[in-house]
Structure 1
Amino acid sequence: MNETVFTYAAPALKFGAGASDEVGHDLASYGARRVLLVTDPGVMETGHPSRIAEHIWQRGIETVIFSRARVEPTDESLDEAIGFARDAQSTGRTLDAIVAVGGGSSIDTAKAVNLLLTNPGELMDYVNAPVGKAKAPVRDLLPLVAIPTTTGTGSESTTICVLDVLALQVKTGISHAALRPRLAIVDPRLTVSQPTMVTASSGMDILCHALESYTARWYADFDAKQPDERVPYCGANPIADMWSERAMGLLAGSFRAAVTDGHDLRAREQMAMAATFAGLGFGNAGVHIPHANAYPIAGRVTDYTPKDYPQDEPIIPHGMAVSLTAPAAFRFTFDAAPERHLRAARILDPDAKGDGPEVLAGVVTALMRDLGLPNGLAEVGYAAADVVDLVAGATQQQRLLATAPKTPSEEDLAQVFVASMEHW
């Protein structure tokens, strides 16, 4: 028997220039008297967190700042943040809410802190199976207010916390409805400081969120589930489709402009809106093969560091990692839903010609090339000899692969990785 029900959930949303100035008012409405603000060193240097903390203080609310969130969080960096928060609580003065200021890394760090500050156990107890134990929280979490400073992850809208497990060299996540922020405050002014490659990479994450949720397996094609068995990623559905289509339309008119001219405020606003809309879509429908592949691509990097990112260690940013196999992945999924792949291609590029699997793949490839993203896996340090390990890492992401419109075998995934070594 097939599923007949789909679910939809979203945080409260406040959007617009100056929205972040009102965070003190919002926290006061939750009865907060002492809050933890989570950010990273780069965002801290912009002055945004200090200014936001000042607005919170003006409402008589004490703010404790943790500014060491790691770009692309690891189990070790999350444990450090969790330890800081527990120490802040151990003074006998409770934390009433958490505020995240930054990109997906800061927001995801705040989600993990919130989970482990309020619930028993260790981080790996809650990490998705088979990497972790996939336990569900048993106690209510604190109100989390997410204030993004990048346009990409959509983490302010979602139930997901992504991390690298260093010992296993794998990127995975924690997924539960309780992790979704109580309030998303999206202030496009905060994204003007976003560097060129961060804008390009994060924007590819928006694009793939929208494309993957739009081409995901239809919710009614899953087996029927009991209410307590339903997960946040329920498959493509009419409401998620609406958000994904709108996100793609905004990207079509703003992505190249935002990368070319970082001070184009209209483009920045449209990118911020696209990121949030895509998050509202994929946070319910789910993502699939490009994201599953991105986890081992990012987790096994050895010698690549892009411009505009910290240069102290190798890193493949999440959005970049997702994009690297996207063209080949959409060629593979095309025949499961041709009409959806073609509609998506023409929303992104009304002049796209043809009616086969190369149309969407070609639109994505052209965008990657125009924005200066790497020309495939070879450019970031991978070779044919790495494909077996990459496939092994991707197959651990069963939560994501289950949402693909057609189920990939290990051989299918290997062909996607091989085809992604070079795009043009």
Structure 2
Amino acid sequence: MAGRDRVVNLLRQLERAACRCPAHSQTYHQVSAHGSGSRTTDYAFEMASSNIRYGEGVTTEIGMDLRNLGARNVCLMTDRTVSRLPPLTAVLDSLAKHDVTFRCYDRVRVEPTNSSFRDAIDFAKRGDFDAYVAVGGGSVIDTCKAANLYACHPEADFLDFVNAPIGKGQPVTQTLKPLIAVPTTAGTGSETTGVAIFDYEPLKAKTGIASRALRPTLGMVDPLHTLHMPERVAANSGFDVLCHALESYTALPYSQRQPCPTNPINRPAYQGSNPISDVWSRHALHVVAKYMKRAVRDPGDVEARSSMHLASVFAGIGFGNAGVHLCHGMSYPIAGNVKIFRAKDYDVDHPIVPHGLSVVLTSPAVFAFTGPMCPERHLEAAQILGADVRRVKRKDAGSVLADTLRDILQDLQVEDGLGAIGYTQADIPALVKGTIPQERVTKLAPRTHTEDDLAQLFEASLKLY
């Protein structure tokens, strides 16, 4: 009985903690329908995440893990920059020590495209691999997920699993091969999620594949690997963590998301905010507030870099189940339409707006826009990030969070809006057009929006300071 009493008490605490603002006003226990076709909104959420192992030097165990899995032919994926760094050396040493047979693919493109995905998929199909290892940032991990998926579905067309409306969005029904992800950046949280993002070149916008089946078997989070991130890589990775946490915490509640699935296999990975994801997202914000600036400014600050690595995991678990919304949806055409901008500290041979930068540049405008729908959550986020909200009115919640974000961006010397990375007023129609297909995430915004609203948000993001 004591155990039951503790459970009942915890549920009551969750109910009392639930946000009472308009976008989050439905208490989570009141829905009694059970997946019937009569409901238009969902009544349940599902919590899913990869297994996570964390610790300094934990990468030395990867050879043993592969032996324990019975892997006989392993696909090791990385990119050319990481291939020259200690994290890959640590993996190779462990594979050699435990006599693991592998083949290495090091052609992963930073900010992958449909073409680079296909190249990696072809490599995987030819290799007949029984396990995968991804060593790198989100680009490497996402590419490895896609290679695993299509190698296990050799007859599938590339667009079969790509998110609708760009692709067919078909559910994944086959069990994939084991995949161990070794993240070397502290941002994407890809080691925790079933999402793989890429630039779809015909539309000049990002899209992706989202299925719980893509989740890595194990995320091996070794904080020593983040010590090799240059300053701007650390900053942009951290901005991704920040926006993951903010967007998932302010997303439309799962009980207001439409449609209600007629079969649980059709329940999306991005379900809307929910009591469990809220815990992870809120905690990630606290860690970002305490450690992000230190992690950017001092690559030797092991405590700060390690903490941001964990924050990436926390936020990944949060958004991997709740989802993100407008900052991410609008970021995809920002990255996809890049002209000549090349971000500092990125060793690439092509123009690039790093993902975290493309996401955070619209964040002040976005949260000023969404603030009226759940002001308590916007005020709480602003307070966690350092704002004094004691005398702030609910109607000003979005503006206060927006100003708080601007202060953080200016303090970390982020480019002054979309104008500073090559966009002008004339580009706004193309940016709006590239956002429209991103309904997988934009429909989770707590405030409904039109194309005119999106245009105004892009315009407000041309200059930040």
- TM bucket, shorter chain: over 0.9
TM-score with structure 1 setting the length? 0.96
Q: 1:160 and 1:211 mapped to 2: Cα distance?
A: 18
Alignment check: 8 A CA contact 1:53 1:63 kept: no
| Counterpart in the other structure of 1:57 | 96
Which of 289, 296, 308 pairs up with 1:252? Answer: 289
| Counterpart in the other structure of 1:401 | 442
| Counterpart in the other structure of 2:17 | none
| Counterpart in the other structure of 1:148 | 183
| Counterpart in the other structure of 2:136 | 102
Secondary structure of 2:135's counterpart equals: strand
Q: 1:146 and 1:319 mapped to 2: Cα distance?
A: 20
Taking a change above 3 Å as real, the CA distance of residues 273 and 230 of structure 1, as seen in their structure-2 partners, is same
Secondary structure of 1:322's counterpart equals: helix
Say whether 1:309 aligns with 2:346: yes
Secondary structure of 2:335's counterpart equals: helix
Secondary structure of 2:365's counterpart equals: helix
| Counterpart in the other structure of 1:43 | 82
- Percent of residue pairs identical: 45
Q: How far 1:311 moved relative to its partner?
A: 4.7
Which of 119, 135, 150 pairs up with 1:116? Answer: 150
Task: State which structure, 1 or 2, has the greater radius of gyration over its C-alpha atoms.
Answer: 2
Taking a change above 3 Å as real, the CA distance of residues 379 and 333 of structure 1, as seen in their structure-2 partners, is same
Secondary structure of 1:185's counterpart equals: strand
| Counterpart in the other structure of 1:7 | 46
Q: 2:250 and 2:435 mapped to 1: Cα distance?
A: 19
Query: Alpha-carbon deviations, 1:303-336, whole Å to 9, x = none?
Result: 1001101352211001100011111000110011
Which of 161, 165, 168 pairs up with 1:130? Answer: 165
Q: How far 1:352 moved relative to its partner?
A: 5.3
Q: Which moved more, 1:30-39 or 1:232-241?
A: 30-39
Q: 1:57 and 1:25 mapped to 2: Cα distance?
A: 11
| Counterpart in the other structure of 1:225 | 261
Which of 45, 67, 71 pairs up with 1:32? Answer: 71
Secondary structure of 1:110's counterpart equals: helix
Q: 1:123 and 1:339 mapped to 2: Cα distance?
A: 42
Q: 1:422 and 1:130 mapped to 2: Cα distance?
A: 31
| Counterpart in the other structure of 2:372 | 335
Secondary structure of 1:274's counterpart equals: helix
Q: 1:77 and 1:407 mapped to 2: Cα distance?
A: 34
Q: Pairwise mapping of residues 284-299 of structure 1 onto structure 2 (< 5 A)?
A: 284-299=321-336
Alignment check: 8 A CA contact 2:171 2:266 kept: no
Which of 52, 57, 62 pairs up with 1:23? Answer: 62
Query: Alpha-carbon deviations, 1:357-395, whole Å to 9, x = none?
Result: 211111111111111211100001111111111011111
Secondary structure of 1:101's counterpart equals: strand
Secondary structure of 2:81's counterpart equals: helix
| Counterpart in the other structure of 2:412 | 371
Aligned residue identity for 1:35: V
Alignment check: 8 A CA contact 1:333 1:406 kept: yes
Which of 398, 421, 425 pairs up with 1:380? Answer: 421
Which of 52, 59, 77 pairs up with 2:116? Answer: 77
Q: How far 1:130 moved relative to its partner?
A: 1.6
Q: 2:121 and 2:301 mapped to 1: Cα distance?
A: 37
| Counterpart in the other structure of 1:390 | 431
Q: Which moved more, 1:205-214 or 1:309-318?
A: 309-318
| Counterpart in the other structure of 1:162 | 197
| Counterpart in the other structure of 1:362 | 403
Query: RMSD between aligned alpha carbons?
Result: 1.3
| Counterpart in the other structure of 1:320 | 357
Secondary structure of 1:157's counterpart equals: coil
Q: How far 1:350 moved relative to its partner?
A: 4.9
Q: How far 1:3 moved relative to its partner?
A: 2.7
Aligned residue identity for 1:216: A
Alignment check: 8 A CA contact 2:387 2:404 kept: no
Aligned residue identity for 2:261: K
Q: How far 1:57 moved relative to its partner?
A: 2.7
Aligned residue identity for 1:413: L
Aligned residue identity for 1:107: I
Q: How far 1:169 moved relative to its partner?
A: 1.2
Q: Which moved more, 1:343-352 or 1:312-321?
A: 343-352
Which of 195, 214, 239 pairs up with 2:276? Answer: 239
TM-score with structure 2 setting the length? 0.88
| Counterpart in the other structure of 2:22 | none
Alignment check: 8 A CA contact 2:189 2:315 kept: yes
Aligned residue identity for 1:407: T
Aligned residue identity for 2:82: V
Q: Which moved more, 1:117-126 or 1:234-243?
A: 117-126
Aligned residue identity for 2:406: T
Q: How far 1:80 moved relative to its partner?
A: 1.1
Q: 1:61 and 1:160 mapped to 2: Cα distance?
A: 28
Q: 1:384 and 1:352 mapped to 2: Cα distance?
A: 34
Aligned residue identity for 1:377: L
Q: 1:300 and 1:413 mapped to 2: Cα distance?
A: 16
Q: How far 1:139 moved relative to its partner?
A: 2.0
Say whether 1:187 aligns with 2:222: yes
